[in-house]
Amino acid sequence: MTVDDSQGREPTRKLARKLSGAPPRLKLPPKATDTHMHIYDDRFPGRDGGPPKPPLPATLDDYRQLQQWLGLERTVFVQGAAYQFDNACLLDALERFSAEGGEARAIAVVGPRAEEAMLEDMTRRGVRGARHMHLPGGAVGFDDLLAINARVRPFGWHMIVQFDGRDMIERTPVLEALRGDYIIDHAGKFLEPVGVDAPAFKALLKLIDRGNCYVKISACYETSKSGPPGYDDVGALCKALIAHAPERMLFATNWPHVSAPIDKQPDDGQLLDLLLDWAPDAAVRQQIFVDNPARLYGF
């Protein structure tokens, strides 16, 4: 498949997204939930301030194929950073997915002065949280986190928070001030993986112990230095998190893996199968894939 994103240069050869393959060894329980993925549709332009959209679209039809391959049923659409505060693509995907009989929720990006009518409308349509990404390309930073939390909490929304986990101790006072539930993305997103005895990782465990912090087991490939197939450095953190508080863990594909070039994307089936090692107990996997997201998102 050839896609011309060259802006006057010769077209480059791009591989198609891998949306199917050998069946995963892990057989998921009914109602298994993907709690973090993105749609990038060419009908919706990217917005200033965000990173470029991926060179290949990642459509709802594409994602449906991925779901069938992996055995996932429920989905949480998360606003892609390329769209900044424009949630049109997110809401379109949520509406179409639900119209097709799928069970879905969504996480939008809003500011601290978001209008009440807009928040009411998005809540009615299935939005259940606000995204905060304190990394390059994110639409809102830590300075606005508590104000956004206060703005959306009356609508039953939670926060999802992403930042360099090495700053966990520095960020702890603000995170402890959040009201209601919140999620820390991508196993803490330690941009340089740390050990399980590192102060920053222990700070994450203490946040979980407060009773309103969830963590997504996801995107190990983004920060791992040891790499596939086991991503052993980040895998050690995922194992420790699951062992510490399985009732607070969530699974996510992080599809379509926008941080990785198309020709070097991780295999989603192999990523899923890592849970056989990280969470070998079927009852724990039932919590991670079904029970915890059902409680948090209201499925």
In percent, the amount of the chain with pLDDT more than 70 equals 95
Tell me the per-residue pLDDT of 13-45, one tens digit each, with 9 for 90 and over: 557 889 999 999 999 999 999 999 999 999 999
* pLDDT, position 115: 97
User: In the chain, which residue ranges form alpha helices assigned H by DSSP?
Assistant: 60-70, 88-99, 116-125, 145-152, 168-177, 199-209, 220-223, 232-244, 268-278, 282-286, 292-297
Tell me the per-residue pLDDT of 245-270, one tens digit each, with 9 for 90 and over: 999 999 999 999 998 888 889 999 99
Q: With 70 as the cut, is the pLDDT of residue 60 above it?
A: yes
Q: What's the chain's average pLDDT?
A: 94
* Residue 91 neighbours by CB under 8 Å, 6+ apart: 106, 108, 122, 125, 127
* pLDDT, position 141: 85
Closest residue by Cα to residue 37 from 204, 246, 258: 258
Q: With 50 as the cut, is the pLDDT of residue 4 above it?
A: no
What is the DSSP code string of 50-66? SPPPPSS-B-HHHHHHH
Sequence ranges of the domains in the chain: 28-297
Quick one: which H or E segment has residue 250?
strand 249-251
* pLDDT, position 58: 96
119: how many CB neighbours lie within 10 A of its CB? 19
Q: With 70 as the cut, is the pLDDT of residue 11 above it?
A: no
Q: With 50 as the cut, is the pLDDT of residue 8 above it?
A: no
Quickly name the fold that domain 28-297 has. Answer: TIM Barrel (3.20.20)
* pLDDT, position 14: 53
pLDDT confidence bin for 10, thresholds 50/70/90: very low
Tell me the per-residue pLDDT of 74-118, one tens digit each, with 9 for 90 and over: 999 999 999 999 999 999 999 999 999 999 999 999 999 999 999
Based on the residue annotation, tell me whether 254 is a catalytic residue of this protein. yes
* pLDDT, position 138: 85
Closest residue by Cα to residue 104 from 294, 251, 257, 250: 294
Active-site annotation holder among 87, 149, 254, 292: 254
Burial 175-184 (b: 16+ CB within 10 A, else e): beebeebbbb
pLDDT confidence bin for 294, thresholds 50/70/90: very high
Please give the structure tokens belonging to residue 271: 């990523």
* pLDDT, position 261: 86
pLDDT confidence bin for 5, thresholds 50/70/90: very low
